[in-house]
């Protein structure tokens, strides 16, 4: 397949996974104007389990099989964890004090999706009728927070695609489908507080759909780095895997358990892991 055809396929798949998936969630949120913590928690846990299997049993394995050295792969994974953690920490540190209910008594991690992607932060400014500059800054913060989750997700698709450009039946396709489903509850979390703050439904859904665009950017970065050769592929796969490991263990699973105080999120994650193993090796 020609390079332009490969990149075109990648852009199309990640646009569907990122923009369409998030937009569908935004549309559902606009219709219902609420979400179920229990349902969202179990969906996130299941998706996290599948992602964990794909990362550990497929992407990291592929990175090691490039034979560039296991320590290089470990370093790339550690870098992915560190970079996403530090960027999230900086955003949280500078924005959490502006949200009234987030104080010293609040859990140290997000206990709802709107906190994780800072749509609650934007909602506070919108509800207060703040000036356009404040709304713009809050929008940039929200976009940055979403990008920190969507770019690594896209990178896993792109890096996986760089190692197998057949796409159909590959782990890249599996990841694209999974991430698209994962983005639906995330889209609901973006649109609901925007609409509750008084924004027009159509505008809220449009903004929500656009918030999925960083997935495409991440996919292109992951693919272009991974296409540079064995070292580039190992670095791309390793960094994307580390970023996803942090998102899964540092954010999605803690948040899922806080959203629904039960053992079920753990079982949903385990079930997701088993499904992931089945998808990879069946």
pLDDT in tens, 72-81: 999 999 999 9
Distance CA 44, CA 113 (A): 10
pLDDT tens profile 182-227: 788 778 777 776 776 677 888 888 888 888 888 899 889 988 888 8
How many residues can be counted in the chain? Answer: 282
Q: Which of the four pLDDT bands, split at 50, 70 and 90, describes residue 148?
A: confident
- Quote the number of domains for the chain: 1
Q: CA 60 to CA 72: how far, in whole Å?
A: 11
pLDDT in tens, 6-34: 788 888 888 888 888 888 888 887 887 66
Query: Is residue 169 scored above 60 in pLDDT?
Result: no
Taking the C-alpha atoms of residue 178 and residue 215, their distance in angstroms, rounded to an integer, is: 13
Residue 224 burial class via C-beta count within 10 angstroms: exposed 0-12, middle 13-18, buried 19 and up: middle
The phi and psi torsions of 233 (rounded to 5 degrees) equal -65, -45
What pLDDT, on the 0 to 100 scale, is given for residue 85? 92
Say if residues 77 and 152 touch (Cβ distance below 8 Å): no
Separation of alpha carbons 174 and 186, rounded Å: 19
- Residue 147 domain boundaries: 3-281
pLDDT at 230 over 60: yes
Alpha carbon dihedral 103, 107, 112, 113, in 10-degree steps, equals 90
Rounded CA-CA distance 121/104 in Å is 17
Concatenated DSSP letters of 85-137: HHHHHHHHHHHGGGSTT-STTS-SS-SSHHHHTTHHHHHHHHHTT--HHHHHH
Q: How confident is the prediction for the chain on average, in pLDDT? A: 83
């Amino acid at each position: 397949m020609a390079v332009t055809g490969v990149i075109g396929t990648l852009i199309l798949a990640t646009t569907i996974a990122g923009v369409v998936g998030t937009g569908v969630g935004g549309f559902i949120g606009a219709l219902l104007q609420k979400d179920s913590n229990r349902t969202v928690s179990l969906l996130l846990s299941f998706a996290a389990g599948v992602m964990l299997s794909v990362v550990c049993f497929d992407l990291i394995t592929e990175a090691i099989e490039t034979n560039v050295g296991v320590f290089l792969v470990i370093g790339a994974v550690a870098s992915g964890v560190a970079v996403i953690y530090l960027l999230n920490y900086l955003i949280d540190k500078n924005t959490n004090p502006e949200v009234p209910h987030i104080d010293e008594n609040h859990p140290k991690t997000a206990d709802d999706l709107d906190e994780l992607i800072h749509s609650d932060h934007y909602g506070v400014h919108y509800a207060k009728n703040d000036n356009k500059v404040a709304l713009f800054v809050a929008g940039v913060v929200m976009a940055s927070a979403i990008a920190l989750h969507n770019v690594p997700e896209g990178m896993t698709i792109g890096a996986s695609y760089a190692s197998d450009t057949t796409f159909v039946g590959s782990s890249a396709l599996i990841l694209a489908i999974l991430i698209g489903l994962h983005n639906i509850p995330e889209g609901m979390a973006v649109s609901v507080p925007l609409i509750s703050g008084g924004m027009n439904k159509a505008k809220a859904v449009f903004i929500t759909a656009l918030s999925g665009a960083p997935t495409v950017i991440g996919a292109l970065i992951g693919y272009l780095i991974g296409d540079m050769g064995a070292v580039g592929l190992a670095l791309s796969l390793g960094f994307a895997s580390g970023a996803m490991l942090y998102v899964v263990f540092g954010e999605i699973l803690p948040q899922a358990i806080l959203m629904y105080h039960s053992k079920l999120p753990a079982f949903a994650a385990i079930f997701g892991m088993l499904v992931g193993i089945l998808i990879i090796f069946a």
